[in-house]
Structure 1
């Protein structure tokens, strides 16, 4: 999965529009003003708008699709950005999918697109037609977008239209349907209310403030974190949704902090567990599945708890559990964890001490029991819990709090894990302005590889191939050392990939740099720009065409842009070539292309991957459960050599594709270390409205070899050089062509 594309940027902006949740008990009697005909104070009733001030919104009575009115958006002058009309659906609805359709007319749309947009909160679905947006001048045309529905998880649904870049667009006659039926004809759906949701005691504060702690406090809080999380995922009472488990933490925590002795502490724990009530136990049978990771529960007997507490914990360990849990489910078909009913407490910009410890305990236990690569953390995760207790207590403001989260997230070594959704605190910390130069680490040096804007690049005085030696009197080596521990990634090259984006980022209008060109070190000041003036996401976008012949008999396919529907046509062009280059130094634009393209490359149906999944009945256990195969076309087998290009940008879906194409008997992997992060992601919400993710399923080769952290290992290692960058060479591609000509 990739998160730094423009579509995600606009998703970030839209997320800030989210406000309340569905709380009404009766259908809302509101006007679904999808045709803009109901006007109030000169505006279409129920509609809001947001985005850049350089855009004008208007009610139009002259250019309409039908009726008296349409609405328009137009760019005026100044910084480019976007503007959107937005309507919040008054209710929640049950169904498989929701479709937004409507008519759009455009005039001279450029440097962006016009389109419909729809968002389902919290972070369940988003589409702004980024990949199929409208450009140029067009007459009234009907468009539609569709998203899957998750009614039991949905808080709010937003619909509307937007303009990105220059030009003008008109919007009219919208329609929203659920599984083909107009929502006006569908009864609203109300989620089941659990007792846990009615507990409001600590909505405003945990009532736990910062305190002077000792090593005993830290030890006791560590045991609280262990036991609280163990009960959360093992005790049937918690699974039922009868208890707000966050708030139960705030009820027990002051008692644990005040405990005068270990005996008193253990008695508090024992009384607490007993108060949860009795439950049925069971004898667990040996699983028939191949187990990859066993639960880590030895601490129950090695922590020197009292015999009474140990007995109670061991009884909970064998509690009879079902596959229904208030705080956890597994996504259908994929089986990655769904951390549901986890309140993000978004209004708490800087949560108090109790909530900060809740953040640590919640995240730590999610990793402890449901991170499929916990075995690759390569340190005792329980010691990490103890290490971070004082860090979360001491975090003195929202910046330190957010950076502490980033630091513990980095400890799981997963490139999918980060603090996502355009976190404002991190944006302010790292800076909202960027130099025009794009930086990559080449030969472990910070090298200018291209410019986000050519004219601004010329003004900077820098050239492609320049090596940045220091920024604001801090050497690049010092900068990397400073950032490395809070840069979540599966391996070192991928950490450098992400740190590169921070090298020339700041809140200042300029940066003082030292750079090396042709062995000579120079100094200069370079200007910085806001993101609406330069395309800072250029690094992640694929610029090569989908298909071409790089030599007469060597074909090239760019998986970052190719679509599955074009592959049969492309097959006719490359089937008789002697060599095929598959470029995966990008994020594949079409996941299903893998099966079609792969079927041309393998000579027989070939298993290429197997997965592990977690367990609700045995939290912390991961077992292998299924394999995937590349199908083959018996009459269409590519006979030429295949070279698959990879590097640190090859992540998740791209790594998955590489594993499939590797099944070709004529294929090799060429390039450098990939991101080492595969598997469908699971979202984790933390207090303060902070969102992170994990790789939610284990992805392995059929023989059990790891892919996480290791990535797709090249058969032939080829890395760019500074000299090659300076001269505009794609050395990895050139090496692939050389290989195919010799073999």
Structure 2
């Protein structure tokens, strides 16, 4: 059951969202229609005091959303309650007035039972809720005590706005977040809602918040003026994209082919693929070999400028709009999603071929997009298995099925070495079947942290995952696993298992560092589609995988010369290691 967390599809996520919403039409939250077309807050004039007040309101609003039992029951449309309180907060006269407004607002939410022990979790704690701000914000005594009583309120494992999947041992699901799909450029109130919604999802249900690298509360304050000042749908969407990027998670992005971002980056693509090698943008693939000859570019050529702007400058400009767990994965995404796009019909390319600096005008087309993505995501090979030599076997996990392994193992078992190529995502999840042959016994290889409905912001270690079985005939040869920045999520998880095999070795470069499952898709106003890593994934000893990637035993990176010569340098090194073994 636990492995199901890795095969949630976008289709299932989006269907689940609408089904869940339709099933709850009788909730009081669905009857409130006052702000269906507008928050009635078109503009917000800011000064430092108002920015600070709006930051604090974001803290309190999100805390109440996940901690107050009556909001959890669906007794309030919490989006619309924000629009009711916002004008009062914006117009508050001083700190005393600000606190009185919040106290009256909270008191109107109704009574509840306090029972701190009912919310206790006996698991090993990885991350505690960040609630010190309640006592440290210099609120009035009345407001502080009221918030602390809500912190200690008795809660159940049910909340209208969030659910922990798989009977409480899976990722969080935010199924009842209205996408407000007709608001491509939401008004100021709805833009603030977008900021508060996303910020508080991260605050309470992102398992790696402690790895963000900065105080997340400071990010909330920083983005208050940014989100309010966004003048159009493009600026709004880019601000959300920048906010998403600040959590440093390769699973997090604006997904779903967002048309606003497509128009911003360009709908037309050049007919070739790039990758970064030796910190240079290098040509690695052509969609059309005839076109390759026509334009004169060759595999291994280095692109230095695009439309008279250096690649280095383009990278610097786009880093904040390129969410990923680490810098190599950001570069990989920029190469794929950003560099060779335009709304014009041509791109002016400056490039280095051999030792010569050249310029070319390249025709671009929207039809190239599908070819580029097909190449990037194509997990298929002529076969998932081949014998490189009589004593070296090769498996491509992108197309490997568990059912294949028993049929091909007789050709693998007596080889000196097995190369497992994990540079593609596993389509069929062969982990258990393959580990049954690689392991001498059942071995733990990972453990997970899970969030909490009763105590939002708390993450505890809940279970350890194992693979393998008793097997005296386990594989005795050298096992080499190939990884790079395309090794992400389920692929990283498979590598964690493979590297527990006796005599195994991982070679390559830093992986995408977003291991394991994701939360189902959720939405921000304007129907901005996004998701996050939903559960913490760690080695059995607690060692991190997020942001740092899978442990690599030998770092090997492609070189420009190797790309130019058509070499697979990781594969060549794996063969060399096995031959020396």
CA distance in 1, matches of 2:305, 2:578: 41
SS at match of 2:420: strand
Asked if residue 525 in structure 1 is aligned to residue 369 in structure 2, the reply is no
Superposed displacement of residue 599, structure 1:
1.2
Asked if residue 693 in structure 1 is aligned to residue 534 in structure 2, the reply is no
Q: Which residue of 1 aligns with 2:161?
A: 327
Q: Contact 1:373/1:708 (CA < 8 Å) preserved in 2?
A: yes
SS at match of 2:364: strand
Q: Say if 1:533 and 1:665 are closer, same or farther in 2 by CA, change over 3 A.
A: closer
Select which of 345, 348, 353 maps to 1:509.
345
Superposed displacement of residue 277, structure 1:
1.3
Q: Which residue of 1 aligns with 2:127?
A: 293
Q: Contact 1:452/1:534 (CA < 8 Å) preserved in 2?
A: no
Q: Contact 2:476/2:502 (CA < 8 Å) preserved in 1?
A: no
Q: Which residue of 1 aligns with 2:498?
A: 661
TM-score, normalised with respect to structure 2: 0.95
Q: Contact 1:453/1:534 (CA < 8 Å) preserved in 2?
A: no
SS at match of 2:329: helix
Superposed displacement of residue 402, structure 1:
0.4
CA distance in 1, matches of 2:369, 2:34: 47
Q: Contact 1:270/1:308 (CA < 8 Å) preserved in 2?
A: yes
Q: Any residues of structure 2 matched to 1:375-394 within 5 Å, and which? A: 375-394=210-229
CA distance in 2, matches of 1:341, 1:506: 36
Q: Contact 1:246/1:358 (CA < 8 Å) preserved in 2?
A: yes
CA distance in 1, matches of 2:552, 2:184: 44
Select which of 305, 316, 321 maps to 1:470.
305
Select which of 304, 308, 317 maps to 1:482.
317
CA distance in 2, matches of 1:525, 1:633: 61
CA distance in 2, matches of 1:412, 1:710: 14
Q: Contact 1:460/1:527 (CA < 8 Å) preserved in 2?
A: no
Q: Which residue of 2 aligns with 1:348?
A: 183
CA distance in 2, matches of 1:214, 1:399: 24
CA distance in 1, matches of 2:455, 2:367: 47
Asked if residue 494 in structure 1 is aligned to residue 332 in structure 2, the reply is no
Asked if residue 680 in structure 1 is aligned to residue 498 in structure 2, the reply is no
Asked if residue 255 in structure 1 is aligned to residue 88 in structure 2, the reply is yes
SS at match of 2:461: strand
Q: Any residues of structure 2 matched to 1:104-253 within 5 Å, and which? A: 123-124=14-15, 152-153=19-20, 191-253=24-86
CA distance in 2, matches of 1:373, 1:646: 23
Superposed displacement of residue 414, structure 1:
0.3
Asked if residue 427 in structure 1 is aligned to residue 262 in structure 2, the reply is yes
Asked if residue 407 in structure 1 is aligned to residue 242 in structure 2, the reply is yes
Q: Say if 1:444 and 1:328 are closer, same or farther in 2 by CA, change over 3 A.
A: same
SS at match of 2:117: coil
Superposed displacement of residue 565, structure 1:
1.1
CA distance in 1, matches of 2:446, 2:369: 43
Asked if residue 561 in structure 1 is aligned to residue 390 in structure 2, the reply is no
Select which of 431, 435, 447 maps to 1:610.
447
CA distance in 2, matches of 1:378, 1:534: 36
The C-alpha deviation readout for 1:624-653, integer Å capped at 9, x for no partner, is 000110122524300100000000000000
CA distance in 2, matches of 1:533, 1:191: 39
Select which of 577, 580, 594 maps to 2:418.
580
- For these two proteins, the number of residue pairs brought into alignment is 568
Q: Which residue of 1 aligns with 2:471?
A: 634
More helix by share: 2
CA distance in 2, matches of 1:385, 1:154: 28
Q: Could you tell which deviates more after superposition, 258-267 or 452-461? A: 452-461
Superposed displacement of residue 530, structure 1:
1.3
Q: Which residue of 1 aligns with 2:6?
A: none
CA distance in 2, matches of 1:705, 1:742: 31
Q: Any residues of structure 2 matched to 1:85-96 within 5 Å, and which? A: none
Select which of 107, 118, 124 maps to 1:274.
107
CA distance in 2, matches of 1:358, 1:519: 54
Superposed displacement of residue 669, structure 1:
0.3
Select which of 419, 433, 450 maps to 2:285.
450
Superposed displacement of residue 534, structure 1:
5.7
CA distance in 2, matches of 1:409, 1:572: 48
Q: Contact 2:234/2:264 (CA < 8 Å) preserved in 1?
A: yes
Q: Contact 1:672/1:713 (CA < 8 Å) preserved in 2?
A: no
The C-alpha deviation readout for 1:655-674, integer Å capped at 9, x for no partner, is 00000001111100000000
TM-score, normalised with respect to structure 1: 0.75
Superposed displacement of residue 533, structure 1:
7.5
SS at match of 1:681: coil
SS at match of 2:284: strand
Asked if residue 339 in structure 1 is aligned to residue 230 in structure 2, the reply is no
More strand by share: 1
Q: Which residue of 2 aligns with 1:440?
A: 275
What value does the CA root-mean-square deviation take over the aligned residues? Answer: 1.6
Superposed displacement of residue 124, structure 1:
3.2
The C-alpha deviation readout for 1:288-310, integer Å capped at 9, x for no partner, is 21100000000001111111110
Q: Say if 1:494 and 1:533 are closer, same or farther in 2 by CA, change over 3 A.
A: closer
Superposed displacement of residue 573, structure 1:
1.1
CA distance in 2, matches of 1:488, 1:455: 35
Superposed displacement of residue 555, structure 1:
0.2
Q: Say if 1:533 and 1:492 are closer, same or farther in 2 by CA, change over 3 A.
A: closer
The C-alpha deviation readout for 1:496-553, integer Å capped at 9, x for no partner, is 0000021111111100111001121111111111136860211222354311011221
CA distance in 1, matches of 2:366, 2:341: 10
Q: Which residue of 2 aligns with 1:595?
A: 432
Q: Contact 1:270/1:309 (CA < 8 Å) preserved in 2?
A: yes
Structure 1's unaligned 5+ residue stretches are 2-7, 12-118, 126-149, 156-189
Asked if residue 645 in structure 1 is aligned to residue 482 in structure 2, the reply is yes
CA distance in 1, matches of 2:522, 2:109: 26
The C-alpha deviation readout for 1:78-102, integer Å capped at 9, x for no partner, is xxxxxxxxxxxxxxxxxxxxxxxxx
Q: Contact 2:21/2:175 (CA < 8 Å) preserved in 1?
A: no
CA distance in 2, matches of 1:395, 1:533: 29
Superposed displacement of residue 223, structure 1:
0.7
CA distance in 1, matches of 2:131, 2:18: 35
Structure 2's unaligned 5+ residue stretches are 4-8
Q: Which residue of 1 aligns with 2:567?
A: 729
